[in-house]
Amino acid sequence: MEEIYLDKNENPFNIPDAIREKFIAYVREADFNRYPEKGLPSLISSLGKFTGLEADNIIAANGSDELLDILIKRANGDIVFSSPTFEMYSFYAKNYGYRSVDVPLKSDFSLDADEILKHKDAKLIVICSPNNPTGNLIDRESIKKVLDSGITTILDNAYYEFSGENYTDLVKKYHNLIILRTFSKAFSMAGMRVGYGMGSADLMADLKKLQAPFYMNIMSAKLAEIMIENYKLVEDNIKYIVNERERVYSELKDITYKSDANFLMLKKDLFDYMAERGIHIRKLPLVKDRSRITIGTREENDRVVSAIKDYMEE
């Protein structure tokens, strides 16, 4: 029985062959003895065009984790977020000795904006949309309500490409907002560590001062650029994954929550049950009786559906 790994919300597909060929051609000629160009202007400019923003509204980083690290360190005070959510927010807060203030999502996983706004001393608010691990988008009006507080707010948009909801228009209106995205999911580049942020020119300039001048290696930067140039191929994979997500959801409606990302949260902790069947999913130690499963290839998803249906019949 082949083991399958559906535990880290990775893309089941490696980078497309045509892109790999272009990347290899680059690697053959690359000047590895030289530092990257300071600030990676070529990558920043290509991200600017890709997102429809100006280059000074963009910051790139060694995975979006690097930006979370910088932003949380810089906050120097209480960090507000809404559980259940991505564990790295409290991880970095703890690393720097700051207080994590948890304002849990409501029972339908919507944001409790009014409760968040009661924490007037917060130095940073983190909203994750689509949220990991619940999979739902956070409603735009409640995000705006939080942004109106003027407190620096991260909108972690790591699963953007699977959701169809674009928040970049908010960047022009709110100087306290930074939207984080990643090449680790839709772009199949988790191993290369590329993320980026979008926000006001002032906030981006501020963050760049806290970042090392050579923050990313030339290969990761180049591959990200080639991916952007060939976005059509990326889109094909996104469509496949979204179709599969809807298919798996419709098969397992009774035991999963609906999702706008590349994973589904299960209404049961099936970690051990699935592991016994060679299917590795994510245990959610902080969320009782739930687990999370990444959407894989059609064949992998078939195995998932059949294992979970067996479970439900038992």
Q: Print the binding letters for residues 70-89 with ligand PMP: x by CB under 6 A, - otherwise.
A: ----------------x---
Q: Print the binding letters for residues 209-248 with ligand PMP: x by CB under 6 A, - otherwise.
A: ----------------------------------------
Q: Per CB under 6 A, does 136 bind ligand PMP?
A: no
Per rule CB under 6 A, count of chain residues that contact ligand PMP: 13
Q: Per CB under 6 A, does 57 bind ligand PMP?
A: no
Position of tokens 């963009």?
Answer: 58
Q: Per CB under 6 A, does 64 bind ligand PMP?
A: yes
- β-pair partners for 55: none
Task: Pick the closer one to ligand PMP by CB: 60 or 277.
Answer: 60
Give the one residue of 12, 36, 63, 199 binding ligand PMP; rule: CB under 6 A.
63
Judged by CB under 6 A, the chain residues 150 through 179 that form the site for ligand PMP are 156, 158
Q: Per CB under 6 A, does 7 bind ligand PMP?
A: no
Give the one residue of 184, 220, 259, 294 binding ligand PMP; rule: CB under 6 A.
184
Task: Pick the closer one to ligand PMP by CB: 277 or 281.
Answer: 281
Q: What is the dihedral of CA 196, 72, 140, 248, to 10 degrees?
A: 70
Task: Pick the closer one to ligand PMP by CB: 245 or 277.
Answer: 245
**Segment contacting ligand PMP (CB under 6 A): 61-69, 208-216, 247-255, 275-283?**
61-69
Q: Per CB under 6 A, does 182 bind ligand PMP?
A: yes
Query: What's the min distance (Å) between Cβ of 65 and ligand PMP?
Result: 3
Q: Per CB under 6 A, does 65 bind ligand PMP?
A: yes
What pairing do the DSSP bridges indicate for beta strands 58-61 and 279-280?
unpaired
Position of tokens 């003895």?
Answer: 33
- The burial of 192, by beta-carbon neighbours within 10 Å (0-12 exposed, 13-18 middle, 19 or more buried), is given as buried
Q: Per CB under 6 A, does 9 bind ligand PMP?
A: yes
**Segment contacting ligand PMP (CB under 6 A): 12-20, 72-80, 107-115, 182-190?**
182-190
Question: Which structure tokens are listed for 44?
Answer: 């920043």
Q: Per CB under 6 A, does 259 bind ligand PMP?
A: no
Q: What is the DSSP string of the chain?
A: ---EE-SS---SS---HHHHHHHHHHHHH--TTSPPPTT-HHHHHHHHHHHTS-GGGEEEESSHHHHHHHHHHHH-S-EEE-SSS-THHHHHHHHTTPPEEE----TTS---HHHHHT-TT-SEEEEESSPTTT-PPPPHHHHHHHHTT-S-EEEE-TTGGGT----THHHHH-TTEEEEEESSSTTS-GGG--EEEEE-HHHHHHHHHTS-TT-S-HHHHHHHHHHHHTHHHHHHHHHHHHHHHHHHHHHSGGGB---SSSEEEESS--HHHHHTTTEE-EE-TTSTT-EEEE---HHHHHHHHHHHHHHHH-
- β-pair partners for 127: 155
Q: Per CB under 6 A, does 195 bind ligand PMP?
A: yes
Query: What's the min distance (Å) between Cβ of 11 and ligand PMP?
Result: 11
Q: Print the binding letters for residues 14-53 with ligand PMP: x by CB under 6 A, - otherwise.
A: ----------------------------------------
Judged by CB under 6 A, the chain residues 91 through 120 that form the site for ligand PMP are none
Note the residues at the interface with ligand PMP (CB under 6 A): 9, 63-65, 86, 128, 132, 156, 158, 182, 184, 190, 195
